[in-house]
Amino acid sequence: MNLNKVTVDDINVKGKRVLVRVDFNVPLKDGVITNDNRITAALPTIKKLIADGGKVILCSHLGKPKNGPEAKFSLAPVAVRLSELLGKEVIFADDDEVVGENAKKAVAEMKDGDVVLLQNTRFRKEETKNLEPFSSELASLADVFVMDAFGSAHRAHCSTAGVTNHIKDTAVGYLMQKEINYLGNAVETPVRPFVAILGGAKVADKLNVISNLLEKCDTLIIGGGMAYTFLKAQGKEVGLSLVDDTKIDYCKEMMAKAEKLGKKLLLPVDTTVSKTFPDPIDAPIEVEVVDSSAIPADMEGLDIGTKTQALFADAVKTAKTVVWNGPMGVFENPTLAKGTIAVAKALAETDATTIIGGGDSAAAVIQLGFADKMSHISTGGGASLEYLEGKVLPGIAVIADKN
């Protein structure tokens, strides 16, 4: 996939209508935004287009409305917050059909530098199926399309891909450009040694990622719940730990692949175990640390142990590029967060380029206070995983390449 895309710095938008696909899928409680990170992340692109005299038309999805329009998924609160952050009025075009009379009127009356926000794109059934006439209706509002929603780039929807069938001038925004620069280059042309760290619960979620990263990285570290399937594949007893018995042969294949390619594959050498899973998840829990080959039959592994923390941290110390996706244990519990904290700390202390691949690992790094020490924290969990798998992301592929 060509990663050299036309950006907002390469286009002239003065007097033009610019449709920008942003990611305003923010958490709401009783109609109030509880975290506006995604709105603030979009500001640099929006401000650039305003400064350049573009007429900025924003579109995004919010939540998963099932049967068309639902008031609780309205983007109205986002328009209010965005107006505050920009220090100027954002016109909210509240049409259940998204491109309705309000939207058409608002866009027709725009002056250079004005901002209009459309209603939730998923209020239209066609959106997620990438069907007409929604793509052409969206496109009819604009002269230029800017994609700046990396979290939705792995989906071919009307607002991320279909619209480009009708608008020939396309570019990526600053947020997308940063994701492409970090994630894309880390995987395609990493500065070596390149260490990849995978965690999380299920091997099944990361099958293609493991295989693809083994070909790209120098060392692959596996922690989290998925490590126990690998340990079982090595013939170790794993007690009550989470195991996917259907993936044991796959794990054996991956270990053989690593050996054949001359790559290091690091698994936990010791494990933090308990007789019960914490309920609620942050409840106090009694644990002990045992060797990974000596997990008692009545206990389950819930985090990496102390020797493993040191082993993984040492591997990170020698790296020049590190990509991390997925926590090392049940990080929501203070007792079981030690492995994830140790890895986050190792990344925070290295001079390497450190890239956090969205999802739970991003949440962990932010929650544990290490966010400002990372080179890049991806805004898209699913999208960054598919990127690491080596898949072509539709929302990137449709944007014009730089000559």
Pairwise CA distance, residues 313 & 292, whole Å: 18
92 is in an annotated binding site: no
Q: Per the structure block, which two tokens stand in for 66?
A: 């099932």
Q: Residues 359, 380, 381, 395: which is the catalytic one? A: 359
206 labeled binding residue: yes
Is 81 annotated in some ligand binding site? no
- Rounded CA gap, 175 and 148, in Å? 6
> Contact, 184 vs 216, CB < 8 A?
no
Tell me if 23 is assigned to a ligand binding site: yes
DSSP-assigned states of every residue in 272-337: EEESS--SSTTS----EEEETT---TT-EEEEE-HHHHHHHHHHHHT-SEEEEES-SS-TTSGGG-
Phi, psi (deg, nearest 5) at residue 86: -85, -20
Has 162 been annotated as catalytic? Answer: no
Angle at 154 between CA 152 and CA 157, to 5 degrees: 65
Check whether 52 is labelled as a binding-site residue: no
Contact 26, 35 (CB under 8 A): yes
5 catalytic per annotation: no
* 129 annotated among ligand-binding-site residues: no
The residue among 312, 313, 314, 286 whose CA lies nearest residue 300 is 286
21 assigned binding-site residue: no
Q: Per the annotation, does 192 bind a ligand?
A: no
Q: Please indicate whether residue 202 is annotated as part of the active site.
A: yes
Catalytic residue among 104, 202, 252, 275: 202
Q: Contact, 353 vs 186, CB < 8 A?
A: yes
Choosing from 38, 48, 124, 247, which is the catalytic residue?
Answer: 38
| C-alpha 260, offset from chain centre | 31
**Residue 38 a catalytic site member:** yes
Does the annotation place 61 within a ligand binding site?
A: yes
The annotation status of 225 as a binding-site residue, yes or no, is no
Q: Is 376 annotated as a binding residue?
A: no
Instruction: Pick the catalytic residue from 53, 100, 113, 382.
Output: 382
**Is there a binding annotation on residue 17?**
no
Residue 347 in marked binding region:
no
155 is in an annotated binding site: yes
Cα distance between residue 180 and residue 384, in whole Å: 10
Rounded to a whole number, what is the largest CA-CA distance in the chain? 71
64 is in an annotated binding site: yes
Written as six digits, the tokens of 231 are 């340990």
Numbered residues of the known binding site for substrate: 23-25, 38, 61-64, 122, 155
Binding-site positions read 23-25, 38, 61-64, 122, 155, 206, 301, 332, 358-361
What residues are labeled active site?
Answer: 38, 202, 359, 382
Residue numbers in the known binding site for ATP are: 206, 301, 332, 358-361
